[in-house]
């Protein structure tokens, strides 16, 4: 078990002692931490990077749903912070706007206010997404003013031109991300508005990095958060 944690999670010291309680104690900072907890969380990280959902991870590792969900929520928060920091002061090659609305909602005009609007930037052969303000807060105003029909028509036009744009720029890294995003978001079977940002960032992270590097980065982020 001690081999799965080669350094102190608090100070990175490599000299550790295993206690009778099965905890590890650092020879430098003298802090203790649970081997079992770290080992379990590393396995959850592996499942997360292997695109297993919460239920699949719960069954595979025989861990309760709440525990896995808490870890997944934490991982998404850590990833989002990392990606925000990584993008700072970078030179943008190009960017484009994307509007996402679940396919099941696209034929009902009232649902346009549930659409998620974000800008996708291409930099250093990577992708960064900036989530724009959601229109849901204006829904009642548009409905009361009777402007929902006009807005729906404009939205429909945008979706049509956006599809044409994607076809014309099929080799564009931004377009490749959008295709990856549309495919990836389906497995969640609906994402609540307040959580969309974190799922978007998870997909951005998995698009930018190969799976082995995802595990390495996330493990480091996790250990530094303890």
Q: Per the domain annotation, does 93 fall within a domain?
A: yes
Q: What is the pTM of this model?
A: 0.78
Q: How confident is the model at residue 146, as a pLDDT?
A: 57
In this model, does residue 3 exceed pLDDT 80?
A: no
In this model, does residue 177 exceed pLDDT 50?
A: yes
Q: Per the domain annotation, does 87 fall within a domain?
A: yes
Q: How confident is the model at residue 147 (pLDDT cuts 50, 70, 90)?
A: low
Q: Per the domain annotation, does 10 fall within a domain?
A: no
Q: Which of 20-29, 69-78, 142-151, 203-212 has the lowest mean pLDDT?
A: 142-151
Q: Which of 61-75, 111-125, 137-151 has the lowest mean pLDDT?
A: 137-151
- For residue 31, which of 15, 8, 52 has the smallest C-alpha distance? 8
Q: Per the domain annotation, does 216 fall within a domain?
A: yes
Across the range 163-185, mean pLDDT stands at 76
Q: Per the domain annotation, does 7 fall within a domain?
A: no
In this model, does residue 87 exceed pLDDT 70?
A: yes
Q: How confident is the model at residue 115 (pLDDT cuts 50, 70, 90)?
A: confident
Q: Per the domain annotation, does 30 fall within a domain?
A: no
Q: Per the domain annotation, does 120 fall within a domain?
A: yes
Measured from the Cβ of residue 98, the count of other Cβ atoms closer than 10 Å reads 20
**Residue 121: strand, helix, or coil:** strand
Count of the separate structural domains present in the chain? 1
CA dist., res. 161 & res. 3, Å (int): 55
Q: Per the domain annotation, does 72 fall within a domain?
A: no
For the sheet containing 16-18, what is the strand order?
Answer: 16-18, 23-26, 32-34
Name the residue range of residue 106's domain: 80-225
């Amino acid at each position: 078990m001690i081999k799965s944690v080669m350094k102190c999670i608090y100070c990175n010291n490599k000299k550790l002692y295993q206690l009778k309680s099965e905890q590890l104690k650092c020879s430098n900072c003298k802090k203790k931490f649970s081997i079992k907890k770290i080992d379990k969380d590393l396995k959850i990280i592996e499942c997360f990077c292997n695109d297993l959902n919460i239920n699949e991870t719960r069954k595979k590792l025989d861990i309760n749903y709440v525990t896995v969900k808490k870890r997944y929520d934490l991982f998404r928060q850590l990833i989002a912070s990392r990606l925000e920091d990584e993008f700072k002061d970078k030179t943008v090659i190009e960017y484009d706007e994307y509007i996402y609305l679940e396919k099941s909602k696209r034929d009902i005009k009232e649902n346009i206010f549930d659409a998620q609007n974000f800008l996708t930037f291409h930099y250093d052969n990577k992708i960064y997404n900036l989530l724009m303000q959601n229109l849901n807060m204006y829904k009642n105003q548009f409905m009361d003013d009777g402007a929902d029909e006009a807005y729906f028509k404009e939205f429909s036009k945008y979706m049509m031109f956006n599809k044409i744009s994607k076809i014309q720029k099929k080799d564009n890294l931004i377009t490749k991300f959008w295709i990856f995003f549309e495919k990836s978001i389906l497995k969640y079977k609906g994402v609540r508005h307040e959580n969309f940002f974190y799922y978007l960032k998870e997909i951005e992270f998995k698009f930018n990095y190969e799976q082995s590097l995802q595990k390495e980065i996330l493990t480091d982020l996790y250990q530094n958060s303890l």
